[in-house]
Amino acid sequence: MAERMAVPMFLDARGTLVTIEFDDVPFTVRRMFAVTGPEHGATRGNHRLNCAELIVLLSGSVTIRLGRDADSLDQKILLEMPGAALLVPEGAFLQYHLPDAGSSIVVLAERPYAEAEPAS
């Protein structure tokens, strides 16, 4: 269903640099958004994707759960290294958990924003 990927990550005394060349993304990027977890963590998503998305970990960790619907989230993927990424196909039902304020992701999407199908 989903495919693990990695984007280049460079770590030195100045911090962590994660780079994404849009030509390396397997779809035309039409939207980008970033999400940072709150202090005590949060679960987000809980909807069906209306387009492919590439979820890239910037810091901390993220646990991603996928399935056919909200009741069958049978695929669980943990990203723990900056630059770790997951390519999620259109139609997948997605939920993700950012455990704390040190966890952040950037998401590249194939389409502009549209209301998602809510959890059932």
Euclidean distance between CA atoms 29 and 96, whole angstroms: 21
pLDDT digits (tens, 9 = 90+) for 34-93: 999 999 999 999 999 999 999 999 999 999 999 999 899 999 999 999 999 999 999 999
Q: Provide the sign of the torsion angle of the four alpha carbons 93, 73, 84, 25, taken in this order.
A: negative
Q: How many domains is the chain built from?
A: 1
Whole-prediction pTM value?
0.92
Is the Cβ–Cβ distance between 51 and 111 less than 8 Å? yes
Question: For residue 30, what is the domain's CATH number?
Answer: 2.60.120.10
Residue-wise burial string across 40-75, b where 16 or more C-beta atoms lie within 10 A, e elsewhere: eebeebbbbbbbbbbbbbbbbbbbbbbbeeeeebee
Looking at residue 82, its amino acid is P
Is residue 117 situated within a structural domain? Answer: no
Is residue 118 situated within a structural domain? Answer: no
Is residue 97 situated within a structural domain? Answer: yes
pLDDT digits (tens, 9 = 90+) for 88-116: 999 999 999 999 999 999 999 999 988 75
Half-sphere exposure of 105 (CA within 13 A, CB side): 28
Q: Which domain holds residue 82?
A: 3-112
